[in-house]
């Protein structure tokens, strides 16, 4: 063994520097990719964002013991990632499936359990669900399909829309006669969010969403 290689193998060698990362846990890959785009829009200098399929964030409507178990499972994945990444933050998503202010309790439950497991976390808990947030940027869906109608609720609290996905899909359907365009699908959501990021729309909100504002403020305050 040469002197040079011996030095590298000794106790005095420096450990490899782990690149920083943010981990995103969400209900499905469409939701995870939407969050990737929104995180980049809110924090343009954010480090690498890695999506995680499992475990799902299962807090809403669960008993305390189940919430703790779920947080422990997520924490195990985070610790495994820490071997090669400096995980600065976890963004944990679960739709409220309820109107505001339900997001407060869901967000607090997610963050309480994960922080207790040593995980730095920001909860993303759209009320009713992710599509409610798209009312904040009513011009973005046309980037996916220019034949859709403009689904707009100017100045309204869109977190009070029940069954937001179906309502959003219905309001994108043109009212005028003629061949109807295809309906909105969940797979369109990442492209809508990407347009929000690329066009710098993140701060130009046409409506109000307390669940988005909470996510935005928490992400802005997070140490990355």
> How does residue 58 score in pLDDT terms, banded at 50, 70 and 90?
confident
In a domain, 5, yes or no: no
Question: By the 8 A CB rule, do 133 and 126 touch?
Answer: yes
11 is a domain residue: no
13 belongs to a structural domain: no
Output the pTM of the full model. 0.90
Tell whether 118 is covered by a domain: yes
Largest Cα–Cα separation, the chain: 81
Is 110 within a domain?
yes
In a domain, 6, yes or no: no
Q: Domain for residue 7, yes or no? A: no
Best CA proximity match to 121, nearest among 67, 71, 80, 164: 71
Q: Would you say how long the chain is, in residues?
A: 224
Summarised one tens digit per residue, pLDDT across range 129-163 is 999 999 999 999 999 999 999 999 999 999 999 99
Q: C-alpha 91: how far from its chain's center?
A: 6
Contact 136, 112 (CB under 8 A): no
DSSP E strand boundaries for the chain: 20-25, 48-52, 86-93, 121-124
Report DSSP state, residue 17: P
Domain count, the chain: 1
Q: Each residue of 169-223: pLDDT tens digit?
A: 999 999 887 789 999 999 999 999 999 999 999 999 999 999 999 999 999 999 9
In angstroms, rounded to a whole number, what is the distance separating the alpha carbons of residues 110 and 121?
8
User: Beta-strand (E) ranges in 80-163?
Assistant: 86-93, 121-124
Residue 9: inside a domain: no
Q: Which range of residues forms the domain containing residue 156?
A: 19-224
């Amino acid at each position: 063994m040469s002197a040079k290689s011996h030095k590298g193998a000794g106790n005095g060698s420096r450990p490899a520097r782990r690149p920083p990362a943010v981990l995103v846990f969400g209900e499905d890959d469409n939701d995870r990719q939407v969050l990737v785009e929104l995180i980049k829009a809110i924090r343009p200098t954010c480090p690498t964002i890695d999506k995680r399929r499992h475990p799902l964030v299962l807090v809403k409507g669960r008993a305390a013991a189940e919430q703790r178990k779920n947080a422990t499972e997520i924490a195990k994945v985070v610790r495994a990632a820490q071997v090669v990444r400096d995980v600065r933050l976890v963004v944990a998503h679960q739709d409220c499936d309820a109107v505001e202010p339900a997001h407060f309790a869901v967000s607090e439950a997610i963050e309480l359990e994960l922080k207790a497991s040593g995980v730095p976390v920001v909860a993303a808990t759209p009320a009713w669900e992710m599509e409610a947030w798209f009312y904040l940027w009513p011009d973005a869906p046309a980037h996916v399909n220019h034949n859709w109608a403009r689904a707009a609720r100017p100045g309204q609290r869109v977190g009070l829309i029940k069954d937001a996905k179906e309502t959003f899909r219905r309001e994108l359907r043109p009212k005028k006669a003629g061949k109807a365009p295809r309906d909105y699908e969940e797979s369109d959501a990442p492209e809508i969010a990407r347009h929000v990021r690329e066009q710098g729309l993140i701060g130009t909100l046409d409506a109000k969403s307390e669940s988005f504002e909470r996510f935005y403020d928490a992400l802005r305050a997070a140490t990355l």
